[in-house]
Amino acid sequence: DAGVIQSPRHEVTEMGQEVTLRCKPISGHNSLFWYRQTMMRGLELLIYFNNNVPIDDSGMPEDRFSAKMPNASFSTLKIQPSEPRDSAVYFCASSLGQGGVEKLFFGSGTQLSVL
């Protein structure tokens, strides 16, 4: 079975540009998470969906960040406009059941560099 699929693997963009990160969770999983990893702040939960509904977006840094899950097999994380401080690895993860109490399956991540 395919795992969590993220695209692109690497993204280099200039400050001010819009960036869209994509995620396909494991089929049948009903929880999806977006995490950001930086050296300074470690792994931070940005937003969590359950059955395609955003449950907790308290980790979204500011209005420049938005996430959607239009259906059970696809989610996007958008940054508009991007800034150099957004440079990080962004991970998508999915799980069966509700929330972070179950085992999470992570994608390979998207390495974002904002110049």
For position 43 contacting other proteins by CB under 8 A, the verdict is yes
Cα 5 to chain centroid distance, Å, stands at: 11
Q: Give, in order, the Cα–Cα distances in Å from 13 to each of 50, 86, 96.
A: 31, 11, 34
CB of 66 to other proteins, least distance (A): 19
Nearer to other proteins, 74 or 105 (CB): 105
* Cα angle value 103/105/107 (rounded, 5°): 160
- Residue corresponding to tokens 């963009």: 13
Interface segment toward other proteins; rule CB under 8 A; list 17-25, 63-71, 80-88, 103-111: 103-111
Which residues contribute to the site for other proteins (CB under 8 A)?
33, 42-43, 45, 48, 55-56, 89, 91, 93, 98-109
